Structure 1
Amino acid sequence: MRKAAILFLLLSTGCVPEKDEAKAPEATANASTAAPVATATAPAPAQARKTEERTASFEFDYSYPAEAAAIPALAAELEADLAKQRRELAAAAREGRVAAQENGFPFNPYSYSAGWSVVTDLPGWLSLSAGASTYTSGAHPNHWSQALLWDKAAGKSRVATDLFVSKAALAAAIREPFCKALNRERAARRGEPIDPNSDDMFDQCVDPTASTVILGSSNKQQFDWIGILIAPYEAGPYAEGDYEITLPVTKAVLAAVKPQYRSVFALGR
């Protein structure tokens, strides 16, 4: 009877313990002390490089795009060229200033500039070109074009003509359409057609591979056009400026490509 009375008392006051309550604090503690999940942070994107320097003796400008900066080996190559060009400009300017003082004529600051830009960025290749100019006294600056083709698989720079059997083979494949396109551009600038019988040096066709050759793409997968960048005095007088002739890749061009690179090219339109 005594036991029954005690049990009745417990039930009436709600003091019978529940089995699950003892485990709840432990589960809560485990949840609150769980290690935080680490989150990966993406690397900062490469930035385009641009440097400008102005001194009493020279002006120096050099730049290249983010696409080139994102490739460490290529960026190192361009940085080496930047340092070389600046060093040579500074030395030439020092000599020029001394010569001017010794001979009693005014000295005008020397200059060098080069601005690299992307022609096309393919899965395996990065094609760059640059307009460059320099002034070391005289009537006007001299300017020209440069090109660089980065082979991503090999991790090295090439020139566009490296991908062809020879310069002569490429020149033969594009000479006829190149000469026609050049004369059309000359006629547009001069306001009159080019006389095919003229013996004027600026009316003659030039070797396209003696100028700067660049490779471009319209489909972002393969090279399907070729550009020829011609500096002043090569195809016309200084006043006519640079010439740029763009030609599609043809069957004749494909035949001049080295076998190991043919898959990189496609017929152009």
Structure 2
Amino acid sequence: MFKARFGLALLLIAGLAACHKKPDDQKAKAPPATVAPLGFARTNDDAQVSLTLPDPIKLYPELHTRLYHEGQASLTAFLDQAHKDRAEASADGFPTPAYYHSITWKIAAQSSRFVSLYAEEDDYQGGAHPNSSFQALLWDKSKNDLIPTGSLFAPGADMSGVDRFLCHQIEAARAARIGAPVTQSGSGFPCPDLKDSRLILIPSTIDGKIGAVDALYAPYEVGPYAEGPYEVRIPQSQLKGLIAPAYADQFAGEAIKEEALPDPDSDKDKAQ
């Protein structure tokens, strides 16, 4: 009887030991976490879509995963809508060319705390011409999360001066493009508020700091479609006293000269 009980006890101990080891074994054999791709593309009879992410975004896995999955979901929905739209148009006797939509993310600047990103989006949905638009995001490394770009500015800050500067810069850029003086009030397009604009950070001549803020405007937002997009730089001299105290240490030095968007007149200069 003693030997039988002793043998049963050994079996129970062995079984318990095996149970304790099983989670470790399963953990060791668990597949590695998947890393989101840097791109997504699909093409069918109704539409062509693509998403492109910059390679450095891999340094920020949560941001990388978020932008990939949101972009993929948006483009998949676009494919579905393109099929419905083109089927309806064809049934009504108005066939349309295939749609397309591309989203290209780029990193504008990085500081010790921020990653500033923007996306250029181009799409065609059967209208008279394609359309373009922008997204602008600000990733706070310390929070590991996105924050509104408008939160760069101190609560209650008087933005009237910088808003006037922004409007005058838009007017000057428009005048240069059309070759004649122009005012926003006479153009039919409003003067935007900086805080509500799509903002990107511009690297400074001092490494790891931000030298300026640029505002991005798609066609139709501050001027007619034919004038294309606008990028307006706000230097630090216009931002004094406006940046939230928690972020003031991120700004120093002068902005580098490069702009995120290509010069719309560059092709004209080459032709001449």
TM over 0.5: yes
Are residue 226 (structure 1) and residue 195 (structure 2) matched? no
Identity score, percent: 30
Are residue 94 (structure 1) and residue 83 (structure 2) matched? yes
Post-superposition, which runs of at least 4 consecutive aligned residues in structure 1 deviate over 3 A? 168-171
Structure 1 partner of 2:266: none
In the alignment, structure 1 segments of 5+ residues that lack a partner are: 1-45
3-state SS, counterpart of residue 146 of structure 1: strand
Structure 2 partner of 1:192: 180
Are residue 80 (structure 1) and residue 66 (structure 2) matched? no
Structure 2 partner of 1:214: 200
3-state SS, counterpart of residue 210 of structure 2: coil
TM-score (norm: length of structure 2):
0.73
- Summarize deviations over 1:160-192 as a string: whole Å, max 9, x none: 2122125x7474242232222211111110111
Q: Which structure has the larger Rg over C-alpha atoms? A: 1
Are residue 183 (structure 1) and residue 171 (structure 2) matched? yes
What letter matches 2:216 in structure 1? L
Structure 1 partner of 2:139: 150
Contact 1:163–1:261 (CA<8 Å) still a contact in 2?
Answer: yes
Q: Compared with structure 1, are the counterparts of its residues 110 and 87 closer, same or farther at alpha carbon in structure 2 (3 Å cutoff)?
A: same
What letter matches 2:166 in structure 1? F
Q: How many residues align?
A: 220
Contact 1:211–1:231 (CA<8 Å) still a contact in 2?
Answer: no
What letter matches 1:184 in structure 2? A
What is the CA–CA distance in structure 2 between the aligned matches of 1:192 and 1:159, rounded to whole Å? 36
**RMSD between superposed Cα atoms in Å:** 2.3
Contact 1:187–1:193 (CA<8 Å) still a contact in 2?
Answer: yes
What is the CA–CA distance in structure 1 between the aligned matches of 2:234 and 2:37, rounded to whole Å? 29
In the TM superposition, what are the counterparts of 1:56-71 in structure 2 within 5 Å?
56-71=45-60
What letter matches 2:201 in structure 1? L
Are residue 165 (structure 1) and residue 151 (structure 2) matched? no
Task: Tell me how far 1:58 sits from its aligned partner.
Answer: 0.7
Structure 2 partner of 1:244: 231
Structure 1 partner of 2:14: none
What letter matches 1:193 in structure 2? P
What is the CA–CA distance in structure 2 between the aligned matches of 1:171 and 1:267, rounded to whole Å? 22
Q: Compared with structure 1, are the counterparts of its residues 103 and 212 closer, same or farther at alpha carbon in structure 2 (3 Å cutoff)?
A: same
TM-score (norm: length of structure 1):
0.74
Structure 2 partner of 1:257: 243
What letter matches 2:242 in structure 1? A
3-state SS, counterpart of residue 70 of structure 2: helix
Structure 2 partner of 1:18: none
What is the CA–CA distance in structure 1 between the aligned matches of 2:92 and 2:62, rounded to whole Å? 45
In the alignment, structure 2 segments of 5+ residues that lack a partner are: 1-34, 256-272
Structure 2 partner of 1:137: 126
